[in-house]
Structure 1
Amino acid sequence: MPAYDIQMCDILEQRNIRRKEQLRRFLNHQCLLIRRNNYPLQGVFRERLSFEMMSAELCVRKLRFSKEAIGRLCDKLRDNLQTCPTTHTALSVSMKGTTALTFFASGTFQIGTGDLSSISQCAARSCIHQVTDAILRRGDQFIRFDLSAPQQREERALAFYRIAGFPKVIAAIDGTHVALKAPSSNAVRFIKRKGYHSLNAVIACDAKIRILSMNTGHCGSSPDSFVLQHCNLYDCLNQLPPGSAWILGDKGYPLKTWLMTPYRRTNNEARERYNQAHVGTRQVVERTIGVLKSRFRCLDKSEGAL
């Protein structure tokens, strides 16, 4: 066979080999596309769980509230949480409330919070932010320190007097720290004396463990007295006539005409009785903070930082 024919045969054979290789790669690529795009014709969504589907016992154990209380909360926040009714995949108000309360009550990761309601982590994060913002908008309707009603002030003083015989007490005040992750700027200012980042929150309550005032706008390194002097409650109490009413605070607060603190040294029996009545009455605010953090574990350091 001539050399020219042999060379042509080699060229044709190599061309066939390349075509077969290209065809093989093309078929493999098509198989991969079929596997990746093997979706059902109609979207499949997991069944979402809200408090309405839970038993009364499970609601209290998981969400820290009864079904009736959660229902009333959702009704009050409906105007802020209601989405467009034409979106068939949108989360309902009860679903958003359930997701947010699950996070507030457990303080766990948002992935675990979303798994309970069968929604994604991104959707759980959005629910938590929306419900939190809606509650903050209505916070003044439920948390307020009103001194304009003398009868209400007398009822509070009587309730405190029944605890340990301390007269004219209208509130007890104390500070608590809420742990949080290190901020991106000025992180040193948020380190408290125990070595972790936090916000210093000052809380005032009545004898029935109802929160009357709260200030959370200061970093963890700020002392309680500094936080009190820069909140609205301080200006409100300065308007009281001297000796007309008192609130009780610990040794970290300054002595005022409306703020009573315990004696640092008890040299006689009268001061000892005063301190005993003071401590016994002021324990209400410590119990209030304990109940608040035990119900909403996201505020407690044991469940991690926010």
Structure 2
Amino acid sequence: MFCLHFLVTSLPFNELKLGRRKYSERMYAERAKPLAQYTTEELYARFCFGRDNIKYIADLVRPKLQHKTKRSHVLSVEEQCLIVLRFYASGTFYQVVGDNMGVDKSTVTNVVKAVLVELASLVNEFVSFPKDDQMAHSINVQLVANADLIITNCVVKWPGSVHYAHILRESALYRKLRSNRPNGIILGDSAYPLLSWLMTRFPVANTPEQAGFNSAHCKTRCAIEHLNGVLKRRFACLNYLRVEPKVACNIILACIVLHNIATRRNVPLDDIYDGPEPDEMQPGQPPMFAPNEGQTGRVIRDAIVRHYFRLMT
């Protein structure tokens, strides 16, 4: 397909003086119409969402992205969403996305920025920590998710060099749960501190009961590893983002919103998950948590072992 170009020529001075005007003729490439030309299966393969789900997403961002003009070549909200979903699903260059969709690279750039800001603004609507009556075992790494792979909390602003424990300590989730312990627990890997509401594995299992706890902890934490695989499978752009950090944060937030939409609406995805990755302790964990927090966590973890992992005699 041809890219869309707006051709503008300069107007010579002598023609201005004579009052004559010459206008360049705009040439438009034929724009792709995926919703009309593809089956539902073909839409899933190219955009990770089916026809009804794409329309649902378009309705979410329509109030801010609906153009008031009646010009025939203005992109509809659905077309803008398709451009963004194609970029998220493929992770390729803007130029390639434009070639596929029948628009130019600058249009893709502007659309991606506009739509991702609107999607990212919906994060509080689609990502919320469960209430006590909704609580189940959750996993906290860089994300908190439940067993259904719904993301319930996220922090997307720190660079990769910042320690996981520091990110947790500075998060709103930590402040909330420190003062209002949930009716349940969160499971974290060995990079996190042991707290009253955040359970980590025993570094060394000295009893069969502790080994049973570690085994159950690992099996339950498989959900977060599965979630990471699903996110990167559904949105290939997350494997490598060629954008500045601020834009990358918004893209990640937008993908989190889209993931929760897809999960709640049962959008299909091929399962390519092979198993959990081993815990990797980040070196030099800063002692930023109060000593009594860790002591309370050990008491609670020991109580869980006594009540739920005692060997049958």
* Same fold per superposition (TM over 0.5): yes
Q: Deviations over 1:196-244 (max 9, x none)?
A: xxxxxx10000000111111110110111111111211112113348x4
- Pairwise CA distance, 1:60: 0.5
- Pairwise CA distance, 1:85: 2.3
> Which residue is equivalent to 1:284?
223
For 1:276, the aligned partner's letter is S
Match of 1:173 among 127, 132, 140: 140
Q: Deviations over 1:41-82 (max 9, x none)?
A: 853311212431222122101111111111100011111111
> Which residue is equivalent to 1:210?
150
For 1:298, the aligned partner's letter is C
For the 8 Å contact 1:51–1:67, the answer to whether it is kept is no
1:151 correspondence with 2:151: no
> Which residue is equivalent to 1:137?
121
Q: Determine the C-alpha separation between the residues in 2 that align with 1:40 and 1:280.
A: 68
> Which residue is equivalent to 2:31?
48
For 1:288, the aligned partner's letter is L
1:94 correspondence with 2:33: no
> Which residue is equivalent to 2:295?
none
- Pairwise CA distance, 1:87: 3.0
Q: Determine the C-alpha separation between the residues in 2 that align with 1:98 and 1:75.
A: 13
Q: TM-score, normalised by structure 1?
A: 0.68
Q: Deviations over 1:85-115 (max 9, x none)?
A: 2333221111100100111111100000111
Greater relative contact order, per chain length (Cα 8 Å cut-off, separation 6+): 2
For the residue of structure 1 that corresponds to 2:179, the secondary structure is coil
For the residue of structure 2 that corresponds to 1:88, the secondary structure is coil
Q: Determine the C-alpha separation between the residues in 1 that align with 2:181 and 2:118.
A: 37
Q: Determine the C-alpha separation between the residues in 1 that align with 2:172 and 2:33.
A: 38
Q: State the percentage of identical aligned residues.
A: 28
> Which residue is equivalent to 2:233?
294
Q: Deviations over 1:280-305 (max 9, x none)?
A: 0111111111101111011114xx64
Q: Determine the C-alpha separation between the residues in 2 that align with 1:95 and 1:298.
A: 19
Matches within 5 A, 1:189-208: 202-208=142-148
Q: Determine the C-alpha separation between the residues in 2 that align with 1:103 and 1:263.
A: 42
Match of 2:102 among 96, 113, 118: 118
What residue ranges of structure 1 are gaps of 5+ in the alignment?
Answer: 1-38, 158-168, 175-201
What residue ranges of structure 2 are gaps of 5+ in the alignment?
Answer: 1-21, 244-313
For the residue of structure 1 that corresponds to 2:211, the secondary structure is helix
More strand by share: 1
For 2:163, the aligned partner's letter is P
Q: Determine the C-alpha separation between the residues in 2 that align with 1:247 and 1:230.
A: 17
Q: Deviations over 1:158-198 (max 9, x none)?
A: xxxxxxxxxxx2x1112xxxxxxxxxxxxxxxxxxxxxxxx
For the 8 Å contact 1:172–1:247, the answer to whether it is kept is yes
- Count of aligned residue pairs for this structure pair: 221
Match of 2:195 among 256, 264, 272: 256
